[in-house]
Structure 1
């Protein structure tokens, strides 16, 4: 079976500035892939190229084996949410979904099903979009993306504006969609927002892929977390031994050395260990921050 989404050497230049630089990755059927990177790393530009809204300078992107623009009635195959505010502010939520259903050739009952699915009440669905909160716009955007019963979802920062209960609901919804055979590409600049739900991770910084693999692979490569009675002395011993040793917020060290190696060095240096474990999720976060540190600022690229 071909990849649901395949990106090959995708590049977008604006004059001399390179917003997306030779990006390649695949999103397989039945998975949630987290597309991670700081604000301005190039995630949105890449997703706009995948969905045909921004032409690439070079490279290709296909969905279900074809360019998005070549899909007949694309909403029946691919659900897209790139900007929850990109709807007519004077229309009601129900009107927006009804127009979508008409354009896709769907039964009007699908509108009621989607409103119920995303938790928008009948009264809320009759409000003008200008009176929606950001969280309500996100729910409406997810309803529109799911309207055509697609095989693939492409969502850009869908948790923006959702409260903690809403974020949990969204994760459950997307996990269920993937478990039933659907495929999700989910962008975020926050690791914890999608770490729970993602199967695979693609990390981008300054327009380039800096890490790509299964969540399990990246977490296993995340190293070791250690806290000791003398972190500075232990860090020096690790560095002399050829290992990286980065101080962590709140104390402790993150290192690429195996836990057994850290323990041996601590014994040699007679440094008492207070905590020693494989880094897991915290190490994944440290790795993410290190990989994208040069791009961790606003306003570089969309």
Structure 2
């Protein structure tokens, strides 16, 4: 389990992380999302003992990372695959970690096999690895000590589609076996496919958190009718947003039940009525972090409702 309580990190007057609190639970994959500069990497660096907080506390398995006697046996960490020593071979990288943790020699070959690095590849210098190979080596190092917790920052960077699928299956299996996974990634479609819980950070503060189902449930409603102009007018008159949906129809912030009642009262037959979860995590993420985006998203008909007690 990972706990982050009232975490603050300031650099002078700038708050990189401002009162961040969330929990990542065993048996679940927690997706940690936010635009560049939102505070994700700072939070993960504090969590793994690479930076000191200004205030607040982070714990892994009930202890500060720095207080774990042999952290690799409890927590697997991959924050930057490009930071590996370029002059070592892949095997040397793992052997050094294996000896540091006091593990049997056989664990090195087991991890190389697990992540799909061949014997020939393991003898190459890391400087000659592609980014995808470095990611695989980083995952092998993180898993070497058979930890209970994984903390990963953009682990799918540089992986091809087959590698991304492999990564997804690996992390899903780790969580299903009772492990805790905290995963930061900009590949929102991948997060949507694997994450049980989602935490969204913007401007250093948590803007939404909860299960993925809770976030997607807040996406509003997509409704279709033969007379969509009248339907949109009825929804607007009832105090709701109503705009063209991304694939046609009318998108509204009213929930499906309210939408159906408004249409019935207005005498407008509907041809489709459903929760607009088809908008997916990407649109919800853009809505929640609109003020943090370098490239603003196109206007949208509605924003997600409050999720898990946090205003969107």
Asked if Structure 1 and Structure 2 have the same fold, meaning a TM-score greater than 0.5 normalized by the shorter chain, the answer is: yes
**Structure 2 gap segments, 5+ residues each:** 296-312
Residue equivalent to 2:134: 137
Cα–Cα, structure 1 residues 283 and 292, in superposed 2: closer, same or farther, change >3 Å? same
Cα–Cα, structure 1 residues 254 and 54, in superposed 2: closer, same or farther, change >3 Å? farther
**Using the alignment, how far apart are the partners of 1:12 and 1:71 within structure 2?**
22
**What SS class does the counterpart of residue 196 from structure 1 fall into?**
helix
Compute the displacement of 1:269 (Å).
Answer: 5.8
Residue equivalent to 2:3: 6
Residue equivalent to 2:114: 117
Matches within 5 A, 1:25-44: 25-44=22-41
Contact 2:225–2:271, Cα closer than 8 Å, also in 1: yes
**Using the alignment, how far apart are the partners of 1:149 and 1:287 within structure 2?**
35
Contact 2:192–2:281, Cα closer than 8 Å, also in 1: no
Compute the displacement of 1:261 (Å).
Answer: 2.9
**What SS class does the counterpart of residue 83 from structure 2 fall into?**
coil
**Structure 1 gap segments, 5+ residues each:** none
> When the two structures are aligned, how many residues end up with a matched partner?
295
TM-score by length of 2: 0.87
**What SS class does the counterpart of residue 287 from structure 1 fall into?**
helix
Q: Provide Cα deviations, 1:263-301, integer angstroms capped at 9, x if missing partner.
A: 444456676756431122525433222111111228xxx
Please provide the CA RMSD for this pair.
2.1
Cα–Cα, structure 1 residues 72 and 277, in superposed 2: closer, same or farther, change >3 Å? same
Residue equivalent to 1:158: 155
Residue equivalent to 1:126: 123
**What SS class does the counterpart of residue 88 from structure 1 fall into?**
coil
Q: Provide Cα deviations, 1:130-187, integer angstroms capped at 9, x if missing partner.
A: 1111111111111110011000000001111111111111111011111111110001
**Using the alignment, how far apart are the partners of 1:139 and 1:281 within structure 2?**
32
Compute the displacement of 1:212 (Å).
Answer: 0.9
Which structure has more RCO (C-alpha within 8 Å, separation ≥ 6)? 1
Cα–Cα, structure 1 residues 92 and 22, in superposed 2: closer, same or farther, change >3 Å? same
1:215 to 212, 216, 224: 212
